[in-house]
């Protein structure tokens, strides 16, 4: 039973659904996000992540179930909720006609902040996202990474209790991603609750304390990245590369020969993945059975293995 405010969930969803006509994008999910937590929604395209995020952002009405954000009902307290949220949307939605500083200034004014206050905050935030020297540059002249950092700065202008990040690093180069992750870590350390969606499993492993994997509008797994790997995969994976199978053939016959070497064997067009607690032992046993892979690789299981196992490898557009 939740009693004090500090342990009250920031987000609480019970049987949450979202429908667009006959299409049900979110099919009754239960989610609870606690204060100070970094929480992730993972899932392929069309899994219902963005629809869920829009309901949490109090910009899309709930179709069914119960949703409470910061203890408030978005159906009746939308403006009050949004006043305490920071939203970093998938598309930056920056005003390209304004300069960098004015993007923060104008946005801060929507929250009713006095002009002097919002100017001071804009200066601080530009420093935080390392854009002080670009304060009077046009948005169009910024790189993708800079725009993303500006969008994050904009989402912080009202000092939100809860920051929503929809695919925060999609389309960024590795350097820009790492700068952004560093800023998000700092926010987390400062006690800001983060909720993010991402396609990048390494990002989820880096940033999220806890996450859910969504598929076709439902939650198919929930836990910390480590718990999910333990629960849905093995400690290690032995990758046995045999080259692309000839037309009309697959590596199924080879898979049958190594099936008993691990918990599970996955057949890909060019290789077999053998999921096992000891990858080196698998490789040794493969050699002992006279099989000669072109190359072998033993690695730790990752969240990506879990993700692909739970949501499949079929391409979703």
Residues of this chain that bind other proteins (CB under 8 A): 20, 57, 59-61, 77-80, 82-85, 87, 89, 91, 93-98, 102, 105-107, 109-113, 115, 120-121, 124-125, 127-128, 154, 156-161, 186-187, 189-193
Q: Which is nearer to other proteins, 184 or 240 (CB)?
A: 184
| Residue 136 Cβ vs other proteins, minimum distance, rounded to whole Å | 14
Q: Tokens 């299981």 correspond to what residue? A: 301
Q: Which is nearer to other proteins, 8 or 222 (CB)?
A: 8
**CB burial of residue 114 (10 Å; 0-12, 13-18, 19+):** exposed
Q: Which is nearer to other proteins, 87 or 285 (CB)?
A: 87
In 34-181, at which residue ranges do the beta strands (DSSP E only) sit?
A: 38-42, 64-69, 85-88, 162-166
| Residue 128 Cβ vs other proteins, minimum distance, rounded to whole Å | 5
Q: Which is nearer to other proteins, 175 or 189 (CB)?
A: 189
| Residue 152 Cβ vs other proteins, minimum distance, rounded to whole Å | 10
- Identify which of 306, 219, 313 has the alpha carbon closest to the alpha carbon of residue 264: 306
Strand partners, 198: 42
Distance (Å, whole) CA 57 – CA 204: 20
| Residue 94 Cβ vs other proteins, minimum distance, rounded to whole Å | 8
Contacts of 246 (CB under 8 A, 6+ apart): none
| Residue 295 Cβ vs other proteins, minimum distance, rounded to whole Å | 46
DSSP 131: -
Q: How far is CA 70 from the centre of its chain?
A: 21
| Residue 139 Cβ vs other proteins, minimum distance, rounded to whole Å | 10
Q: Which is nearer to other proteins, 78 or 223 (CB)?
A: 78
**CA-CA distances (angstroms) from residue 24 to 4, 60, 164?**
36, 14, 23
Q: Which is nearer to other proteins, 76 or 260 (CB)?
A: 76
DSSP 245: P
């Amino acid at each position: 039973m939740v009693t004090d405010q500090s342990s009250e969930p920031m987000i609480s969803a019970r049987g949450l659904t979202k429908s667009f006509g006959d299409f049900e994008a979110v099919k009754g999910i239960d989610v609870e996000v606690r204060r100070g937590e970094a929480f992730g929604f993972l899932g392929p395209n069309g899994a219902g992540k963005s629809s869920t995020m829009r309901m949490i952002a109090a910009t899309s009405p709930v179709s069914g179930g119960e949703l409470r954000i910061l203890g408030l009902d978005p159906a009746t307290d939308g403006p009050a909720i949004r006043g305490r949220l920071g939203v970093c949307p998938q598309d930056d939605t920056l005003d390209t006609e304004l300069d960098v500083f004015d993007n923060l200034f104008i946005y801060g004014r929507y929250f009713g902040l006095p002009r002097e206050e919002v100017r001071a905050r804009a200066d601080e935030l530009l420093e935080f996202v390392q854009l002080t020297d670009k304060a009077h540059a046009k948005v169009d002249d910024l790189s993708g990474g800079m725009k993303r950092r500006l969008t994050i700065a904009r989402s912080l202008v009202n000092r939100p209790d809860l920051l929503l990040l929809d695919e925060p690093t999609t389309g960024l180069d590795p350097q820009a991603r790492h700068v952004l992750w560093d800023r998000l870590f700092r926010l987390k350390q400062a006690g800001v609750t983060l909720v993010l969606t991402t396609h990048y499993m390494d990002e989820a492993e880096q940033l999220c304390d806890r996450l859910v994997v969504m598929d076709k509008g439902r939650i198919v797994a929930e836990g910390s990245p480590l718990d999910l790997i333990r629960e849905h995969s093995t400690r290690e994976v032995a990758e046995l590369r045999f080259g692309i199978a000839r037309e009309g053939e697959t590596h199924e016959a080879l898979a049958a020969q190594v099936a008993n070497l691990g918990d599970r064997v996955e057949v890909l067009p060019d290789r077999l993945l053998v999921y096992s607690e000891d990858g080196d032992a698998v490789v040794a046993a493969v050699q002992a059975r006279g099989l000669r892979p072109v190359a072998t690789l033993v690695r730790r299981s990752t969240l990506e293995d879990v993700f692909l196992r739970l949501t499949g490898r079929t391409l979703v557009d």
